[in-house]
Homo-oligomer: A and B are copies of this chain.
Amino acid sequence: MTEHTSKQFEFELESIRTRVLQMGGMVELQIAKAIEALATGDLDALEEVVDQDHRINLLELELDDACVQIVAKRQPAANDLRLVMSVVKVITDLERIGDEAKKIAKMSKRLHSSDSAFVPRIELRHAASLAVDMLRKALDAFARLDMSAAAEVVRQDREVDAEFKGIIRQLITFVMEDPRTISRGIDILFMAKAIERIGDHAKNVAEYVIYMVKGQDVRHTGLANIERAANTD
């Protein structure tokens, strides 16, 4: 590679990394906005979340294309190739987090538009802030190639799962006491499920970061192994 080509290549790789982080930032904003508007009942904000989702989809397509182009033109090897292959996976998860935010916004709109008084009072904000925190940390880990942050995200996924189970228990109690809450309760259940899935996707992103840095695939290997991978050089 000539010096010029190599500079150009570095520039292209950096541009891909930057856009992944940009996409991640947008996705993070979408969740935060959906959850905030669920609490306040701000229908305009919810509508905005639904409207903005296509921008995230578009970013995914552009980034996928940029990855294919860079592989075709630059034939990256070793670390660089691992970065590109990880990005292809990471953006799929980010796009699906975007989908979950959109689902939350849609269900929240329905909840606030209905005149049903039978809405079980269940708090989703704690679970949601845990999931957003996981996503933020996973993106940080991607930006700084920080293995221990990535391992921390994998660990946190258990907390989100525990929160989710707590929400289900609360819901069962509500519905037993007043079966008229079932219909709205199911909406809340699926919002909680969406939050739990956001945690799963953030965990996937963190695992791709570990692969990117260590060249070691830690998916499906359990937390202990992931922490071992993160702590060895």
Contacts and interface: CB of A to CB of B under 8 A. Distances in A.
A171 B183 CA distance: 9
A183 B175 CA distance: 10
Contacts of A171: 186
A205 to B, nearest CB: 13
B54 A220 contact: yes
Nearest to A177: B179
Interface residues of A, number: 36
Q: What's the number of copies of this chain in the assembled complex? A: 2
A71 interface: yes
Interface in A148-193: 168, 171-172, 175-176, 179-180, 182-183, 186, 189-190, 193
Interface stretch (A23-31, A35-43, A77-85): A77-85
Given A57-B220, A71-B85, A88-B88, 5 more contacts: A61-B217, A64-B85, A67-B85, A72-B77, A176-B182
A110 interface: no
Interface in A83-107: 85, 88-89, 92
A68 interface: yes
